[in-house]
Structure 1
Amino acid sequence: MADDATAAGPRQGGCACGAVRFSVDVTGTEMDACHCGRCRKWSGGPFMAVEVQNLSVAPEAPLGVWDSSEWGERLFCRECGSSLGFRMKDGPMVVLSAFVFDTPLTQPLVTEIFIDDKPDTYAFAGDTKKMTGAEVMAAFGGE
């Protein structure tokens, strides 16, 4: 099973305490950062994530699911509280924190969303595409 930063195939990762372990195919070629207030409170800072498919978690793992909005759910460890990911309720998108993988990912930070919610106390180096909350909702067919 491949698990280096550039190999194709399933990647392994998990929460801080190790109670939730997963295998997943990383399909995103970039890392994105969300600055919305909910993500910042949930993850303790901007939520930086990559898109994935075929998420596999053992049925007995203490994976928590928080119904965080009318369209999305957040995944976390019920033992240690690690923020793991976000998924759309209707299934088209699953993203995991870029930092929960056993081997660090190499995807570059490309897009920052909900930039209008970002506090002035931090900024990322380099150029990124920046989208407001309204632009994000329009892109996903929201209001």
Structure 2
Amino acid sequence: MSDAERLAEPLQGHCLCGSVKITLNAAHAEVDVCHCGMCQRWGGSMYAGIEADDFSLSGEEHISTYQSSDWAERAFCKKCGSNLWYKFLPTGNRTFLAGLFKLPSGLPIKHQIFIEEKPDWFDIAQESPKKTGAEIIAEAEAAGFSFE
């Protein structure tokens, strides 16, 4: 996807209790899906997120973060427990949980990653590129990131 493929309208979202409100400006017009074990334990199943470089938050006093690995931080609402975002620490890029927003119909899935860890009890109907964890880590290492 090129950088030009962004949603024209801002996305407004919030946690379950409404204490944390998020506005995504020029969000990527696709959904990221991760099946890694950490994402499954964090959210109960796969992680579906939408990336945005430009965002604003309200209710920051209700946000807590947890560093789940050397390269990842996850945020949640302290009041209701809703998961809010995944942050890739080496770059600062965030993907926000897709379920926090009313997304436009027809958004494509960018890719499904850590596909080998996907439980066999569900499948995603939409065809999308699939990558193993080894492929994702190799791509990140080739881009100069380290996962020690």
Is the TM value for this pair above 0.5? yes
Unaligned 5+ runs, structure 2: 1-5
Q: TM-score, normalised by structure 2?
A: 0.83
- Describe how 1:41-120 pairs up with structure 2 within 5 A: 41-58=41-58, 60-101=60-101, 103-106=102-105, 107-120=107-120
Unaligned 5+ runs, structure 1: 1-5
Corresponding letter in the other structure for 1:44: G
Distance verdict in 2 for CA 1:60–1:51, change over 3 Å: closer
Shift of residue 112, structure 1, vs aligned partner? 0.5
Alignment partners' CA distance in 2, 1:90 and 1:19? 28
Distance verdict in 2 for CA 1:59–1:123, change over 3 Å: closer
Match of 2:140 in 1: 140
Q: TM-score, normalised by structure 1?
A: 0.85
Cα deviation digits, residues 9-35 of structure 1 (max 9, x gap):
432111000011111224312112100
Q: Is the 2:20–2:59 contact (alpha carbons within 8 Å) kept by the matching residues of 1?
A: no
Corresponding letter in the other structure for 2:113: I
Match of 2:19 in 1: 19
Percent same amino acid among aligned pairs? 34
More helix per residue: 2
Corresponding letter in the other structure for 1:76: F
Shift of residue 85, structure 1, vs aligned partner? 1.1
Alignment partners' CA distance in 2, 1:128 and 1:60? 34
Alignment partners' CA distance in 2, 1:78 and 1:86? 16
Corresponding letter in the other structure for 2:129: K
Cα deviation digits, residues 74-96 of structure 1 (max 9, x gap):
11111111111101123342101
Alignment RMSD: 1.9
SS at the partner of 2:19? coil
Match of 2:129 in 1: 129
Mean CA deviation greater in 6-15 or 36-45: 6-15
Moved over 6 A (4+): none
Cα deviation digits, residues 37-87 of structure 1 (max 9, x gap):
110111111001111112221364301111111011011111111111101
Alignment partners' CA distance in 2, 1:76 and 1:53? 19
